[in-house]
Amino acid sequence: MIFASCLIFYNPLCTNLNSNFLFLPRFTEQIQILHVYELRGTRYFETSETWLEQVGLGITLWEGKFEDRQDTWLRWCYQDGNILSTGDERAEQERQRAEQERERAEQAEQRTQLLADRLRAMGVDPDTL
């Protein structure tokens, strides 16, 4: 069984560079292959290059959950292979960062209150220090 989908990338701002690409991931029951085709003149030619110098990004297959669906997806990546985060992924990362910061602030407030209570127990008013 073979599944295929494609993504065509065209950037009209790159007029001095060839900027038409066709990405065709093929999935069989046991293997996944990403075929990349580059438009040269009026024909597409297969290339092994998944790094697109014109846009400073690469393309890769990625296993994961996107829009509530677990699957293999075509994703943009940096030259080191790290995947670019989607807007939803960035929002979730920011939400987690904010939650961690809130927890740190809460713990600091609890420590401050504990120290103030200990000082009061020793007869020292922490508000006058």
Rounded to two decimals, what is the model's pTM?
0.59
Own/partner pairs for 51-54, CB < 8 Å, 24+ apart? 51/79, 52/9, 52/21, 54/11, 54/14, 54/17, 54/18, 54/19
Predicted confidence band at 84 (pLDDT cuts at 50, 70, 90)? Answer: very high
Is the model more confident about 29 or about 17?
29
Q: What is the pLDDT of residue 41?
A: 81
Paired tokens of 59: 């393309």
CB crowding 18-31: b at 16 or more within 10 Å, else e: ebebbbbbebeeee
Q: What is the pLDDT of residue 113?
A: 95
What percentage of the chain exceeds 90 in pLDDT? 34
Strands 7-10 and 3-4: unpaired
CB crowding 61-71: b at 16 or more within 10 Å, else e: beeeeeeeeee
Backbone angles phi, psi at 94, to 5 degrees: -65, -40
Mean pLDDT to the nearest integer, 81-86: 91
Reported as a single tens digit per residue, the pLDDT across 96-118 is: 999 999 999 999 999 999 999 99
Q: What is the pLDDT of residue 17?
A: 42
Is 124 strand, coil or helix? coil
Q: What is the pLDDT of residue 52?
A: 81
